[in-house]
Amino acid sequence: MVVAVRFFVFLSMIAAFFAEQAGAEVNDAALMKKRPAKLLSDYGLFSDVSAHTPADGVLPYSMKMPLFTDYAHKYRFVYIPEGMSATYSEHEVMEFPVGTTLIKTFAYPADFRKPGENIRRIETRLLIRQEAGWNAWAYVWNEDQSDAVLKVAGKTLPVSWIDETGESRSIDYVVPNKNQCKGCHTLGREFTPIGPKARYLNFSYEYDDEKKNQITKWVETGKLSGAPTPDKAPTVPEFDDLTASLDRRARAYLDINCAHCHRSEGPASTSGLFLTYGETNKVTWGYKKTPVAAGRGSGGFSVDIEPGQPEKSILLYRVNSVDPGVMMPEVGRTTIHTEGVDLLKEWIKKLE
In three-state form (DSSP H/G/I as H, E/B as E, the rest C), the secondary structure along 72-119 is CEEEEEEECCCCCCEECCCCCECECCCCCEEEEEEEEECECCCCCCCE
Contacts of 121 (CB under 8 A, 6+ apart): 52, 105, 106, 107, 141, 145, 148
Is the sign of the CA dihedral 299, 304, 306, 311 positive or negative?
Answer: positive
Give me the amino acid identity at 3: V
- Give the HSE-up count for residue 133: Cα atoms under 13 Å, Cβ half-sphere: 10
What does the alpha-carbon distance between residue 77 and residue 82 come to, in Å, rounded to a whole number? 15
Give the model's pLDDT for residue 24. Answer: 61
Please check whether residue 42 is in contact with residue 19, taking contact to mean a CB–CB distance below 8 angstroms. Answer: no
Least confident of 22-36, 74-88, 153-167, 333-347: 22-36
- Give the HSE-up count for residue 245: Cα atoms under 13 Å, Cβ half-sphere: 5
Average pLDDT of span 7-35: 63
Please check whether residue 286 is in contact with residue 304, taking contact to mean a CB–CB distance below 8 angstroms. Answer: yes
Give the model's pLDDT for residue 297. Answer: 87
β pairing state of 46-48 and 53-54: antiparallel
Is the sign of the CA dihedral 67, 69, 70, 75 positive or negative?
Answer: negative
Give the model's pLDDT for residue 174. Answer: 93
Q: Average pLDDT over the chain, rounded to whole? A: 91
Please report which confidence band the pLDDT of residue 294 belongs to, taking 50, 70 and 90 as the band edges.
low
Give the model's pLDDT for residue 292. Answer: 86
Q: Report the predicted TM-score, pTM, of the whole model to 2 decimal places.
A: 0.88
Contacts of 139 (CB under 8 A, 6+ apart): 39, 40, 123, 124, 125, 126, 148, 149, 150, 151
Q: Considering the chain, what percentage of its residues have pLDDT values greater than 70?
A: 93
Give the model's pLDDT for residue 199. Answer: 97
Please check whether residue 52 is in contact with residue 60, taking contact to mean a CB–CB distance below 8 angstroms. Answer: no
**Radius of gyration over every alpha carbon of the chain, rounded to an integer in angstroms:** 22
Give the model's pLDDT for residue 191. Answer: 86
Give the model's pLDDT for residue 6. Answer: 46
**Max alpha carbon distance in the chain (Å)?**
88
Residue 293 has pLDDT above 80, yes or no: no
Q: Between the CA atoms of 322, 323, 328 and 334, what dihedral angle is there, to the nearest 10 degrees?
A: 40
